[in-house]
Amino acid sequence: MDVPLPPVPFPVPFPVPFPVPFPVPFPVPFPVLLPVPFPVPFPVPLPVPLLPPVPFPVPLVLLDD
C-alpha cells in the first residue's frame, strides 16, 4: 500500500524517527519513548508511557486502502 503522507497540522515537539501514515488530529504533549512500526492495529497491546496520561479517547484516522 503506497499512500502519500499528509502534512502534520501542528508542530511536533520531538523527533519522529518513523513516517506517520495518517493525520494526527491533536497535539502530542509528551515525548514518544518507543519506536512505532506503523501501521498499528489499534488498540495497542503494549505499554505506552504517556506523560501526562491522556484521560480521553484518542481519535486516530487510519487510512483504509
Instruction: Summarize pLDDT for 10-59 with one digit per residue, the tens.
Output: 555 555 555 565 556 555 545 554 555 555 545 544 455 544 555 556 56
Band of pLDDT at residue 63, cut at 50, 70 and 90 = low
Pairwise CA distance, residues 29 & 1, whole Å = 30
Residue 65, pLDDT score? 54
Grid coordinates given for 25: 488530529
Residue 24, pLDDT score? 60
Residue 13, pLDDT score? 55
Buried b (16+ CB within 10 A) or exposed e, 11-49: eeeeeeeeeebbebeeebeeebeeeeeeeeeeeeeeeee
Pairwise CA distance, residues 22 & 61, whole Å = 6
Residue 57, pLDDT score? 62
